[in-house]
Amino acid sequence: MESFDNFWAIYSNLVLTIGINGLLALSIYLTLSCGLLAMANAAFMGIGAYTASLLIMNAGAPFGVALLGGMAAPTLVALVIGAPTLRLSGVYLAMATLGFGEVVRVAILNAESWTGGALGLNGIPQSTQWWHVVGALVLVLLVLWRLRRSRIGRAFEAIKEDGVAASLMGIGVLSHKMLAFALGAAIAGLAGALNAHLTFFIGPSEFGFDRGVDILTMAILGGTGGLTGPVLGAAIITLLPELLRSLKDFRTMVNGIILVVIVLFLPRGLWDPLRFRQWWARRKAVGASGEKR
Amino acid sequence: MLEQQLVNALSLGSVYALFALGFTLIFGVLGVINLSHGAVFMLGAYAALQAVLKLHMPLWAALIAALLFSGVVGMLIDVLVLRPLRKRNAPHLIPMIATIGIGIFFNSAVQGLFSADNQRFPSDLLPDQQVYFWGVQVSVLEIAIIVLSFALMGALFFVMNRTQIGRALRAIAESPKAAALLGINVEGLFLLTSFTAAALGGVAGVLIALYSNAVFPLMGQPILHKGIAVIILGGMGDIRGALVGAMFLGFAEVLSVAYIGSTMRDAVGFGLLFLVLLLRPQGLFGKVLERKA
């Protein structure tokens, strides 16, 4: 038990960060599962983080209310910007949401009296406990798992495969896209609120382009075919810098190489049940033919 | 004072335009959002700096060296990463993610090789004469930047609109498959486009490095975000739009610094971007591409 205490004292932040990054990866998985390449998750995370922190620091709200506020604010913003932007498809949507991310960053930077501008918010109470993160992750996984098997989840898949065909089947394409976008924003906001109360400092540069790219990398690395992939990807991307300490300045270079290699050679990500099944089948086939001889 | 600011805005806007043209060219012809364009911009600046410091080239030769170097980097990106993805017929999102990885790779490789410190061109290299036009003081450097940018842009417009190559490129932009059936060497032109776009980006990098006299590994990131803003403002894949959007952003930035305050520099540009996103997400010149069944 003592060794565990030691481990926890050193690595608790890292472990909880894995959980929070898992939430972020799941938030982008949700929009991707509906065929939307929306890159606004870092911005939604920032909105959630700032809303929750300000609710606690300025309004003296309890932590639970702050978390709810941190989920509600990005959801509202998603509903507002979703209406015009979700009409765009493919890369056009990616660009528009990237642009929106920059808008949010600049807005946080300039609303100095609220957000502290470039200096960020300091001294946020460290209210996030390990069971908050675990609870949030389990809850989100449960909701998404149910959603996948529901009518809505199948509608998402139909829209992802072919939007026009889906609309001809009577699926409300825009409303489903809106749902995925807003729900993703809520999850990202929750992750942001939890993260802010773990690291007790937030600044505008944390929620910029690089964070958005990180979130996308986690999901793509793990694989976006199911719920396991994004969480696995989040764990790897979070642990990687710790494992690669010896490379110093070249450390992030490995992230870049991984991203390119994954995209080129494992387009479905690391966690790909279909590939596992194929390997399994092949091994069996080889085994069987060996016996015949 | 206004005239002075207008000259500043014109030189800033023309460098933005040079950068955004490469960005929009890749998007228009290859259909890829090339998020490594910022890194190529940075590589151009470093190439020129090394040519000056290590090889003792004069500035004009260093500029040409940077143009060729970044152009070749662009071709390598196309051959090594984008072409295999095209062969596989990967969805749009995939090449964009690959270019994110390439950008991270270059940024951190340069950081590892040359350190994160800010480097400068030797001060005796930069022309520091001032010229007066109707009482407006203009530095030779600014004139050179404006003239060079417009010359390169003019050449690009001429090629796109008046030559056989430009006609072929526009055909590819409509449909690469149809263009190939018409006997157009599609792969060859993709390579040429990659070279041209990256070369323009590299030259823009050198010009910004001279203008602000600062070369550092992450110098490409802010301009990448601006490039995204510019091509959203102007309409994606539209060359005219990129020019107008870049000038607009240059003027908005310089005039807001001069008359509202330096903290509002990005707020005005990106506030405008936000409005465009809400009201006309396809950009000022763009069309919404909708698939007709």
Query: Does A109 lie at the interface with B, CB-CB under 8 angstroms?
Result: yes
3-state SS assignment for residue B210: helix
Angstroms from B144 CA to nearest CA on chain A? 31
Between CA B145 and CA B150 the distance in angstroms is: 8
* Residue B75: predicted pLDDT: 96
CA neighbor of B200 nearest in space, from B248, B159, B232? B159
Residues B135 and B190 sit within 8 Å (Cβ to Cβ): no
Name the average pLDDT for chain B: 86
Q: What are phi and psi of B141, to 5 degrees?
A: -60, -45
**With an 8 Å Cβ cutoff, are B270 and A88 in contact?**
no
* Residue B213: predicted pLDDT: 85
Query: Does B270 lie at the interface with A, CB-CB under 8 angstroms?
Result: yes
pTM higher than 0.90 for the full model?
no
Task: Evaluate if residue A293 carries a pLDDT over 60.
Answer: no
The per-residue pLDDT for range B88-120, each reduced to its tens digit, is 887 777 888 899 999 999 998 998 888 888 888
Angstroms from B78 CA to nearest CA on chain A? 13
When pLDDT is cut at 50, 70 and 90, the band that residue B291 belongs to is very low
* Residue A44: predicted pLDDT: 96
Domain boundaries, chain B: 17-219
Q: What are phi and psi of B95, to 5 degrees?
A: -60, -35
Q: What is the share, in percent, of chain B residues with pLDDT greater than 90?
A: 34
* Residue B287: predicted pLDDT: 59
Task: Evaluate if residue B19 carries a pLDDT over 90.
Answer: yes
Task: Evaluate if residue A180 carries a pLDDT over 70.
Answer: yes
**In the beta sheet, which residues pair with residue B136?**
B133
Rounded to the nearest 10°, the torsion over CA B78, B82, B84, B85 is -170
Tell me which residues of chain A, numbers 165 to 204, contact chain B at a CB-CB cutoff of 8 Å: none
When pLDDT is cut at 50, 70 and 90, the band that residue B34 belongs to is very high
3-state SS assignment for residue A59: coil
A154: how many CB neighbours lie within 10 A of its CB?
A: 14
For residue B93, give both structure tokens. 């999102």
| Number of domains making up chain A | 1
Q: What is the share, in percent, of chain A residues with pLDDT greater than 90?
A: 42
**With an 8 Å Cβ cutoff, are B225 and A209 in contact?**
yes
Amino acid code (one letter) for B195 = F
Residues B250 and B204 sit within 8 Å (Cβ to Cβ): no
User: Is residue B46 exposed (0-12), middle (13-18) or buried (19+ Cβ within 10 Å)?
Assistant: buried
* Residue A215: predicted pLDDT: 92
Angstroms from B146 CA to nearest CA on chain A? 27
Task: Evaluate if residue A228 carries a pLDDT over 80.
Answer: yes
The per-residue pLDDT for range A101-155, each reduced to its tens digit, is 888 988 888 888 888 888 888 888 888 888 999 999 999 999 999 999 999 999 9
* Residue B292: predicted pLDDT: 36
When pLDDT is cut at 50, 70 and 90, the band that residue B286 belongs to is low
* Residue A78: predicted pLDDT: 95
* Residue A246: predicted pLDDT: 76
Task: Evaluate if residue A46 carries a pLDDT over 50.
Answer: yes
Stated as kind and residue range, the H or E segment containing A202 is strand A201-202
CA neighbor of B119 nearest in space, from B12, B219, B38, B203? B219
Residue A76 Cα distances to A35, A239, B21, B185, B264, angstroms: 21, 33, 35, 49, 26
**With an 8 Å Cβ cutoff, are A252 and B236 in contact?**
no
3-state SS assignment for residue B272: helix
Mutate to test the interface with B, among A81, A249, A268 (most CBs of B within 10 A): A249
Residues B207 and B45 sit within 8 Å (Cβ to Cβ): no
* Residue A283: predicted pLDDT: 80
The larger pLDDT score, comparing residue A125 to residue A73, is at A73
**With an 8 Å Cβ cutoff, are A257 and B105 in contact?**
yes
* Residue A195: predicted pLDDT: 94
Q: State the average pLDDT over residues A35-51.
A: 93
Q: State the average pLDDT over residues B252-268.
A: 78
* Residue A289: predicted pLDDT: 63
> Which is it for strands B130-133 and A121-122: parallel, antiparallel or unpaired?
unpaired
Tell me which residues of chain B, numbers 81 to 120, contact chain A at a CB-CB cutoff of 8 Å: 81, 84-85, 88, 90-98, 100-109, 111-112, 115-116
Q: State the average pLDDT over residues A213-234.
A: 90
Query: Does A94 lie at the interface with B, CB-CB under 8 angstroms?
Result: yes
**Positions of E strands within chain B:** 130-133, 136-139
Q: What is the CATH number of the domain that holds A253?
A: 1.10.3470
When pLDDT is cut at 50, 70 and 90, the band that residue B79 belongs to is very high
Return the DSSP state at A201.
E
* Nearby residues of B106 by Cβ (< 8 Å), 6 or more positions away: A256, B36, B39, B40, B42, B43
Query: Does A252 lie at the interface with B, CB-CB under 8 angstroms?
Result: yes
Task: Evaluate if residue A292 carries a pLDDT over 60.
Answer: no
Return the DSSP state at B284.
S
Query: Does B1 lie at the interface with A, CB-CB under 8 angstroms?
Result: no
* Nearby residues of A171 by Cβ (< 8 Å), 6 or more positions away: A155, A158, A159
For residue A32, give both structure tokens. 């991707």
**Positions of E strands within B127-240:** 130-133, 136-139
Query: Does A79 lie at the interface with B, CB-CB under 8 angstroms?
Result: no
Residue B287 Cα distances to B94, B284, B290, angstroms: 23, 9, 9
CB contacts, 8 Å: B90 with chain A = 263, 267
Q: Which residue of B has its CA nearest to A81?
A: B278
Angstroms from A101 CA to nearest CA on chain B? 10
Please name the member of A87, A91, A267 whose beta carbon is closest to the beta carbon of B96.
Answer: A91
Give the range among A140-144, A278-282, B47-51, B144-148 with minimum mean pLDDT: A278-282
Q: State the average pLDDT over residues A280-289.
A: 76
CB contacts, 8 Å: B108 with chain A = 249-253, 255-256
CB contacts, 8 Å: A249 with chain B = 108, 111-112, 115-116
Provide the residue range defining the domain that includes A69.
Answer: 2-292
**With an 8 Å Cβ cutoff, are B97 and A259 in contact?**
yes
Tell me which residues of chain B, numbers 199 to 228, contact chain A at a CB-CB cutoff of 8 Å: 221, 224-225, 228
Give the range among A128-142, A231-245, B263-277 with minimum mean pLDDT: B263-277
The per-residue pLDDT for range B215-238, each reduced to its tens digit, is 999 899 889 988 888 888 887 777
Task: Evaluate if residue B290 carries a pLDDT over 60.
Answer: no
CB contacts, 8 Å: B87 with chain A = none
Q: State the average pLDDT over residues B190-211.
A: 93
3-state SS assignment for residue B139: strand
Query: Does B275 lie at the interface with A, CB-CB under 8 angstroms?
Result: no
For residue A8, give both structure tokens. 């926890």
* ipTM confidence: 0.80
Residues A25 and A230 sit within 8 Å (Cβ to Cβ): yes
